[in-house]
Amino acid sequence: GENVEQHPSTLSVQEGDSAVIKCTYSDSASNYFPWYKQELGKRPQLIIDIRSNVGEKKDQRIAVTLNKTAKHFSLHITETQPEDSAVYFCAASIGQAGTALIFGKGTTLSVSS
């Protein structure tokens, strides 16, 4: 079945720096890759997603890149702010989008001012 690896597990940056979180997946049929931000005890909040027919997507300070050949995708946050501090999860659809998502283990991002 699908397996999603996420690194690093923790990431500390200074305000204004960039943060990069990387994920790899195993199922070559996966075609939907969302990134979520989760606050303690709350539901995951979608911050950006990408489908397999696109290599890169950007939304203001947040971008996601996808390398289907290597089966990895990355989250890039530029000009980090303290409010970006949270737990971030990558996920991949099991095969086609519409099936369940498999999540990475999460990255705790700390942005210090």
Quickly tell me which residue has 């390398």 as its tokens: 67
Beta strands per DSSP E along 15-106: 19-25, 32-38, 45-51, 56-59, 62-67, 72-77, 86-93, 101-103
Residue of 28, 67, 81, 100 interacting with other proteins (CB under 8 A): 100
The rounded distance, in Å, linking the Cα atoms of 31 and 17 is 30
Q: Is residue 73 a contact residue for other proteins (CB under 8 A)? A: no
Task: Determine the interface stretch with other proteins among 15-23, 53-61, 65-73, 104-112 (rule: CB under 8 A).
Answer: 104-112
Binding mask 43-62 for other proteins (x = CB under 8 A): xx-x--x-x-----------
The amino acid that residue 62 corresponds to is I
Task: Report the interface residues with other proteins, using CB under 8 A.
Answer: 32, 34, 41-44, 46, 49, 51, 89, 97-106
